[in-house]
Amino acid sequence: MDDRVAEYAVLDELGCVAAAMNQARLAAQLIGAAETIRTQAGASLLPILAPLLGQAEAAAVASIGQAKFEAEVEAGRRLSRDEAIRLALGEAPEKPATASPNGQMAMLGRREADVARLVADGLSNKEIGGRLFISERTVDSHVRSILNKLGFNSRSQIAAWLATANR
């Protein structure tokens, strides 16, 4: 099972707990972060969580209002997976590492870096596989790993990230 599915489920559950403990801002951020991770994993909302989330959202909205709730959910959506987990654990946010793509490039394996460059060039997974002599499925796995490691949601973010490195 993709660990992101477990992560989103736990974050949603913790969002429900936070709402029950009258911590509406935290609840909203956890729910937003869970939504992003669930979407990245391509997963559906677990049916057992739907009514619990509905109750949590209603409690949080009653506490802080609809506009503030939506703003906090959006803040949660922007969190990286690591930031969301830190938030859920009640840990202080990690000081940002170097914003330099070159510094982040070290986070990627050699093959991931190759795939990232070709993604930035606008190649499809099939085209990348042909260039690197690997299967399309392996390319997809590398792309998902790159997105996870860098906290991105799309191929265009990889391209923009590499474009700043080449300035």
pLDDT digits 0-9 by tens, 30-72: 999 999 998 888 888 889 989 999 999 999 999 999 988 998 9
In the structure encoding, which two tokens stand for residue 72, read together? 């906090």
Residue with tokens 């951020």: 29
Helix (H) or strand (E) holding 110: helix 110-120
119-130 pLDDT per residue, tens: 999 999 999 999
105 within 8 A of 158, measured Cβ to Cβ: no
Query: What is the fold of 101-165?
Result: Arc Repressor Mutant, subunit A (1.10.10)
Phi-psi region of 79 (alpha: psi -120 to 50; beta: other; left: phi over 0): beta
| 102/12 Cα distance (integer angstroms) | 34
For 66-115, write each residue's pLDDT tens digit: 988 998 999 899 888 888 888 888 877 665 443 445 556 778 888 999 99
Where are the CATH 1.10.10.10 domain residues in the chain?
101-165
Confidence of residue 17 (pLDDT cuts 50, 70, 90): very high
With H, G, I as helix, E, B as strand and everything else as coil, classify residue 1: coil
